[in-house]
């Protein structure tokens, strides 16, 4: 079974439109495996993406973050004519996209030994973090009223 019918879920959920769109798009993407990559979780809110981009120089690679999408592109600069007997190192252009969760930001990128490492951090604003709401008992509310009446 290669497709999933999400119509049943549409009837009983509210506000999950974007989630279903993500599921549908991930099922229909026929993605190329070049360049290979790793995604590593460094902590509760930190991640890194490591791409194997052997043969590319840092100035031939671009990393662009916009909204919830991270795009890494590489295009090899033409460096004259070569007379290869065998060319096993790929130098084809590539475009790799990663969909980022809400509040995930790119903190930096580094290039070392043919590996491009992109550091990501999830920074949830204080207003969006869960907070505990104290529950007052009816006795506490009555004592406040009595204290208020005595002060008046």
Q: Where are the domains of the chain?
A: 1-30, 33-77+88-132
From the list 38, 46, 43, the residue with the least C-alpha distance to 108 is 46
pLDDT, residue 23, reads 66
Residues of the chain short of pLDDT 50, as ranges, are none
pLDDT, residue 83, reads 84
Strand partners, 46: 121
pLDDT, residue 74, reads 94
Question: By CB neighbour count within 10 A (0-12 exposed, 13-18 middle, 19+ buried), where does 49 fall?
Answer: buried
Q: Are 101 and 68 in contact (CB under 8 A)?
A: yes
pLDDT, residue 94, reads 93
This model's pTM is above 0.75: no
pLDDT, residue 40, reads 93
Q: Which fold has domain 33-77+88-132?
A: Immunoglobulin-like (2.60.40)
pLDDT, residue 31, reads 59
């Amino acid at each position: 079974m290669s497709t999933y019918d999400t119509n049943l879920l549409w009837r009983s959920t509210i506000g999950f439109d974007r989630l279903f769109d993500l599921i549908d798009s991930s099922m229909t993407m026929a993605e190329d495996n070049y360049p290979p990559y790793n995604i590593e979780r460094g902590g509760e809110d930190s991640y890194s993406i490591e791409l194997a981009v052997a043969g590319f120089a840092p100035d031939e690679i671009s990393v662009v973050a916009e909204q919830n999408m991270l795009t890494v592109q590489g295009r090899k600069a033409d460096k004259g004519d070569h007379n290869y007997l065998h060319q096993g190192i790929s130098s084809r252009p590539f475009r790799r996209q990663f969909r980022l969760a809400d509040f995930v930001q790119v903190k930096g990128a580094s290039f070392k030994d043919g590996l491009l490492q992109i550091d990501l951090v999830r920074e949830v604003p204080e207003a969006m973090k869960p907070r505990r709401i104290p529950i007052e008992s009816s006795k506490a509310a009555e004592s406040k009223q009595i204290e208020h009446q005595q002060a008046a």
